[in-house]
Amino acid sequence: MRKTARLLIACPDARGIVAAVASFIADNGGNLLDADQHTDKDHGEFFMRAAIEREGFGLGPETFAAAWEPVARRFGMAWSVFWGLPVKRMGILVGRQSHCLTDLLWRHKSGELDVEIPLIVSNHADLGDLAADAGIAFEVCPVGPDTKPQQEKRVLGLLSDARVDFVVLARYMQILSSEFVSHYPMRIINIHHSFLPAFAGGSPYKQAYDRGVKMIGATSHYVTDDLDAGPIIAQDTVTTSHRDTVDDLIRKGRDLERIVLARAVHLHVDDKILVSQNKTVVFD
């Protein structure tokens, strides 16, 4: 991924978009490694992701926008391009539960997750040893009902100082304010312990157990001002049975949360997500 440029496009659907993109890349000496597209017929929107080999491509971060502008203007495109380097910097907010943080740190250490992690922030000190073992700065920012604005201001300052590109809530059990979210629009990824929308509240597995469900799920989504209602990135489920206890459901749910959150982070890092109408187009 570090050797490719990823071009993301959203615009009104029209004839000739794919041909125009392909021609532009070829005319500038580029090799189109991968292309995916989708048309939302209900809203008349077109979406595309193009991966371009950087070696031999005649344009770069300083020259691309000016060259691309005539094509973008012709089709009314909203667009962005990511060059692979520098790699994205991921900040992590976490509470007391360790399973999602441990998974992300393992994937990072193994090279599976190509990001830099300059900072982990928590409202509790419990997981400081995990950060220390990974060689990552760990900051404790306690929060209470009367200190939330000050706490969020401090957290935002820490993230800014660490030059964080996006934020992952690895079971950070705090509701973020609109002010906080506005600093990272569609760049805060949360993991929710349900197949949304279902079993809202603090004891989803107990509710699922009481209902005798045969399936539980997990949902990863971008954070917006609407609680747990942001654009969904990834979801998955696991089957259960009458033999499962509450502890069994918690264990299965945590396994699922790790996988679904990691999947969402991968998609974001690889620039495979476009957002429209509070929905995501995911080029997986």
Active site residues: 228
CA angle 234, 240, 243 (to 5 degrees): 160
Contacts of 95 (CB under 8 A, 6+ apart): 122, 123, 124, 171, 172, 173, 174
Spatial CA neighbour of 249 closest among 214, 221, 200: 214
Which phi and psi angles does 36 have, rounded to 5°? -140, 150
